Structure 1
Amino acid sequence: MAVVFGHLKGTDIKMRVVALLALVLLGVNALPEVDPQITSERQARFIEDQIIEEIENIAQSIRDMGLDPLSIEHDTFEYALPVPALFNAAAEVEDVRSFGLSNIVVEHMDLLILAVYNRLDFHIALPHIHFFARKVKGLVDTFGEKLIVEGDGSVDIRNVDIVGRAYINLGISSGITVSGIDMDFKVGRTSSNIRLAINGQNFSEEANRIFNTKIPNVLDEFSDEINELLEIILIDIINENL
């Protein structure tokens, strides 16, 4: 049941994202034609307002699903491959909390409607995402090797910025297509205060190094590749749903 419910929740957000994209792509023809300049300005303002409203709806969906704020007093999880001897795991968590996933801030939104193409400039931010767990305990059994994992602590992610520009074409034969997206994804800072032990051995320093140093360095080193991947994924999603 949890898997089905999780799928339904994910589907709800996905449908809202598709609706958001449709507003940009199809909304350019939403108003009756009068003076072209006035129409373009009105259409742009109308569509910008609708985009911002749909972003707010996505944020509300996250809150309605209980994901922000998230609060789990106690829960257990189990997972195993069809042949459990190869891999099976069980985990127990207590007092898990998070906030900030739905605090989606629209810093800038500007739609330019032209005769040849339409251009959408956007800047969306998540100022602060916080995760905390009082207790996490897990048992992993893989190929006969048993790992007992215990931990607690917090992770903070600050100033997630998505800045971009989308180019939208309207053609008589080709229809509506997104010809390109330029995107710049940045994470301002990640910090953690984690205690982690595996089979009684302390790995806290290594865990915190991953969040405080390794992840920021990787995001910075491969920023061009990450942006390119996000652009490809977004274009595919948009054009597949037209």
Structure 2
Amino acid sequence: MKVFVFAFLLVTAGVNALPQQYFEDEYSSRDERIVTGNIRRAIEELAKSIKEAGLDPLDIDKFEFEGSFAPDFVTVKTYIESLEFTGLSNIAINRLDYGALTNRLRFDISLPLLSLSVGEAGVNANIFGTLFTGQLSGSLKITQIRLAGEIRVNIGIISGISLRSVDANFRVQRIESNLAMKFQDEDYSELVDSILNETIPQILEIYKDEIDKNLSEIIKEVGNQLLGKSVTTGDQVLIA
């Protein structure tokens, strides 16, 4: 944090003595590279950690579990065969730029495709003498989960860095569900596919303004909390 404040004071003191072209070409571009470079590296590290955790791709040939959580009252048996999940670590940076003069970060990040396929999965649970059964198979694809928007930043010599405003937009291009689901021997496949293919996209479209507003407020609140923590502990912060 001290390094950033010193750099900011130095630039502010000397800005009037520098030609405008020099300021725009040298300072602005350098500052943008620092900020966007840090963000890109953070995203790359996130993608790497997802892969190292075995979550992308996630392949399960066969898995079985049987246990009792309350002897003679709750027993559960579950199994999964031929499950494959991909796309979680494929984080695409469609746009990422930071304006040093305006302290504005514009971003457009997406997951191009999340794909899930299940050969067969099921659960049998006996809860206080009542048997519950469920089976699932099929596939689910979600195309272009996108988060885009703009973040404006306040930089104070004493107060440090804070997020002045956040304007975020969350969109999902398409959901394709082809799942077969049974519960208690009743077929709910058509209902589940209808909810995923039609109802959820309609809800996202109808309430997109409310979703964007609430998401923007959450990002701003969490971001300012993280920045406040970093300033308190004396960490070096360039942008959130």
Asked whether the 8 Å contact 1:27–1:47 carries over to 2, the reply is no
Is 1:45 paired with 2:33? yes
TM-score, scaled to structure 2: 0.79
Pick from 28, 44, 48 the counterpart of residue 56 of structure 1. Answer: 44
Task: Give 2:142's aligned amino acid.
Answer: I
Pick from 101, 109, 115 the counterpart of residue 124 of structure 1. Answer: 109
The offset of 1:162, in angstroms, is: 1.0
Pick from 209, 219, 222 the counterpart of residue 237 of structure 1. Answer: 222
Asked whether the 8 Å contact 1:93–1:137 carries over to 2, the reply is yes
Q: Name 1:181's counterpart in structure 2.
A: 166
Asked whether the 8 Å contact 2:5–2:157 carries over to 1, the reply is no
The offset of 1:200, in angstroms, is: 1.4
Q: Secondary structure at the match of 2:177?
A: strand
The offset of 1:157, in angstroms, is: 0.2
Q: Name 1:18's counterpart in structure 2.
A: none
User: Percent sequence identity over matched residues?
Assistant: 30
Q: Identify unmatched segments of 5+ residues in structure 1.
A: 1-21
Mapped partners of 1:28, 1:154: distance in 2: 54
Q: Name 1:214's counterpart in structure 2.
A: 199
The offset of 1:145, in angstroms, is: 4.5
Q: Name 1:65's counterpart in structure 2.
A: 53
Q: Which has the larger radius of gyration?
A: 2
Asked whether the 8 Å contact 1:123–1:164 carries over to 2, the reply is yes
Once the two structures are superposed, the pairs formed by residues 71-110 of structure 1 within 5 Å of their partners are 71-76=59-64, 89-110=76-97
**Would you say how many aligned residue pairs link Structure 1 and Structure 2?**
215
**1:68-109 CA distances to partner (integer Å, 9 max, x unpaired)?**
111112224578888995x77542211111111111111111
**1:200-232 CA distances to partner (integer Å, 9 max, x unpaired)?**
121111111111111111111221222222212
Task: Give 1:164's aligned amino acid.
Answer: G
The offset of 1:169, in angstroms, is: 0.4
**C-alpha root-mean-square deviation of aligned residues, in Å?**
2.9
TM-score, scaled to structure 1: 0.78
Q: Identify unmatched segments of 5+ residues in structure 2.
A: 228-240
Q: Comparing both chains, which one has the higher relative contact order based on Cα–Cα distances under 8 Å and sequence gaps of 6 or more?
A: 2
> In the superposition, relative to structure 1, how do residues 46 and 99 fare at CA in structure 2: closer, same or farther (>3 Å)?
same
Asked whether the 8 Å contact 1:31–1:39 carries over to 2, the reply is no
The offset of 1:147, in angstroms, is: 2.1
Runs of 4+ in 1 over 6 A off after TM superposition: 78-84
Mapped partners of 1:222, 1:101: distance in 2: 25
